[in-house]
């Protein structure tokens, strides 16, 4: 099978996760983004157990390393908070493309913290990505800037950039399953503590249980997300192993803004109360131009 298929699969699966996030955030957790994170974190327990059974070596590391992985896991957990707050009120098609700024923050961290060099091409690419993301948040129909969404998603992008660098650092010496296992354990513990100590979160959990949506909606969708994330990781590894260059694989991530707009338009047919339709007109053309600008910036960043 062509490497193109495996390179396209991860951004598609990640975008499907964004769609599910929006459904859950508005259907079950419209009152509190924090409850969404705490409860979903606690429900990663089955995934953590599966990883421990499949790869028992996760326990063969010093406890000092475990504590450091815990801290990093909670940092990644924090990056999801502003993201969920953004998609509670704005469409994922408006919010998710702003995450294209993550590589820009990674390069800036490398420059300021590690002394890496930034040439004119990478600076130009970063400028295009940031400019495209900021302009994307502008609605030409209402002539208003979605400032709240822009700020929240930039905060998420910054935290997740640091989180990604942190994961890459640890996976140089440890198996990626070991790293992700302890991250999930941190999420489970943080979720359990949150459920036990915060009354509002327990109330939200009770409402979900009373509604009958825990076993029929929440748990199946969260498990589906975990499966899709694992498949995305495997597809990325496969694409990297057979593609002509790693850069070509990375460029497929630039398709996420287009994929999210298409998927939100498709899901609007089934859930018009949650998603926005695709409407031909100035706003759509405007967004596509912004996506093209961000994609051009990513090409320059990867040179």
Is pLDDT larger for residue 245 or for residue 30?
30
Q: For the chain, what percent of residues have pLDDT higher than 90?
A: 18
Does residue 246 have a pLDDT over 70? no
In this model, does residue 118 exceed pLDDT 80?
no
Residue 224: per-residue pLDDT = 92
| Higher pLDDT among residues 116 and 301, named by residue | 301
pLDDT band at 276 (very low <50, low <70, confident <90, very high): confident
| pLDDT, tens only, 144-179 | 778 888 899 999 999 988 888 888 788 788 888 898
DSSP string, 105-144: HHHHHHHHHH-----HHHHHHHHHHHHHHHHHTEETTTTE
Say if CB 70 and CB 178 are below 8 A apart: no
The average pLDDT across 256-268 equals 89
Contact 167, 72 (CB under 8 A): yes
The predicted model gives 239-243 an average pLDDT of 80
Q: How many CA atoms lie within 13 A of 253 on its CB side?
A: 22
pLDDT at 94 over 90: no
**Residue 123 reports pLDDT greater than 90:** no
- The chain-wide mean pLDDT, for the chain, equals 85
| 139 or 105, higher pLDDT | 105
pLDDT at 53: 93
Helix, strand, coil fractions of the chain, as percent rounded to 5: 80, 0, 15
CB atoms within 10 A of CB 55: 16
Q: Which two tokens stand for residue 100?
A: 């294209």
Q: How confident is the model at residue 120 (pLDDT cuts 50, 70, 90)?
A: confident
Please name every residue paired with 241 in a beta bridge, in sequence order, or none if there are none: none
Q: Is the pLDDT of residue 2 over 90?
A: no
C-alpha 106: how far from its chain's center?
A: 15
Q: What is the pTM of this model?
A: 0.85
Contact assessment for residue 76 and residue 17, using Cβ atoms and an 8 Å cutoff: no
Distance CA 32, CA 207 (A): 13
Question: How far is it, in rounded angstroms, from Cα 68 to Cα 256?
Answer: 31
Distances (CA, A) of 240 to 5, 126, 252: 12, 24, 12
Q: Where do we find the tokens 């209402």?
A: 142
């Amino acid at each position: 099978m062509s490497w193109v298929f495996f390179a396209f699969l991860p951004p598609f699966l990640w975008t499907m996760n964004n769609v599910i996030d929006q459904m859950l955030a508005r259907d079950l957790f419209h009152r509190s983004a924090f409850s969404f994170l705490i409860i979903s974190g606690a429900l990663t327990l089955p995934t953590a157990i599966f990883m421990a059974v499949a790869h028992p070596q996760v326990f063969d590391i010093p406890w000092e390393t475990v504590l450091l992985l815990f801290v990093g896991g909670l940092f990644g957990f924090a990056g999801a908070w502003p993201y969920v707050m953004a998609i509670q009120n704005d469409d994922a098609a408006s919010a998710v493309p702003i995450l294209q700024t993550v590589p820009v923050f990674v390069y800036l961290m490398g420059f300021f913290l590690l002394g890496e060099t930034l040439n004119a091409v990478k600076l130009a690419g970063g400028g295009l990505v940031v400019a495209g993301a900021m302009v994307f948040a502008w609605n030409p129909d209402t002539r208003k800037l979605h400032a709240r969404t822009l700020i929240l998603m930039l905060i998420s992008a910054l935290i997740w950039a640091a989180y990604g660098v942190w994961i890459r650092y640890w996976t140089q010496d440890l198996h990626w399953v070991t790293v992700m296992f302890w991250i999930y354990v941190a999420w489970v513990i943080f979720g359990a503590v949150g459920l036990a100590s915060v009354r509002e979160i327990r109330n939200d959990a009770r409402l979900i249980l009373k509604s009958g949506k825990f076993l029929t909606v929440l748990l199946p969708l969260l498990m589906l997300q975990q499966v899709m994330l694992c498949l995305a990781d495997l597809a990325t590894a496969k694409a990297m192993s057979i593609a002509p260059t790693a850069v070509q694989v990375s460029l497929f991530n630039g398709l996420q803004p287009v994929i999210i707009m298409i998927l939100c338009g498709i899901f609007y047919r089934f859930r018009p109360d949650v998603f926005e339709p695709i409407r031909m007109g100035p706003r759509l053309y405007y967004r596509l131009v912004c996506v093209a600008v961000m994609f051009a910036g990513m090409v320059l960043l990867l040179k």
